[in-house]
Amino acid sequence: MRFRSVLTVQSFAILALLAACESVPPDAPPRPPPKPEMEPVLPSWSSTIWVMGFWKWSGTEWVWVPGHLAPKP
């Protein structure tokens, strides 16, 4: 029984480590610095938050995904 629980914990640890891996090939150019964006001023009662833009690897080049408003979690 103890062996089974240790194996389960190890399996979850391996899955967590693999999920954290970035899927960018090693020969890809380095990620560019973030682009400056104007973050909107939101009223305190707003039900949205600002999500910063980020660079995403398209398979051949880095593509900028602009920031956007998203519902609060």
What's the whole-model pTM score? 0.60
Please report where in the chains the tokens 């973050």 appear, as a residue. 39
Tens of pLDDT, residues 54-66: 999 999 999 999 9
Domains of the chain by residue range: 2-71
Contact predicate 24/57, CB 8 Å: yes
33, 31, 36, 28: which is closest to 52 by C-alpha?
A: 36
34 contacts 13 by C-beta, under 8 angstroms: no
Q: What is the CA radius of gyration of the chain?
A: 19
Give the model confidence (pLDDT) of 14-54 as tens digits. Answer: 666 655 555 677 888 999 999 999 999 999 999 999 999 99
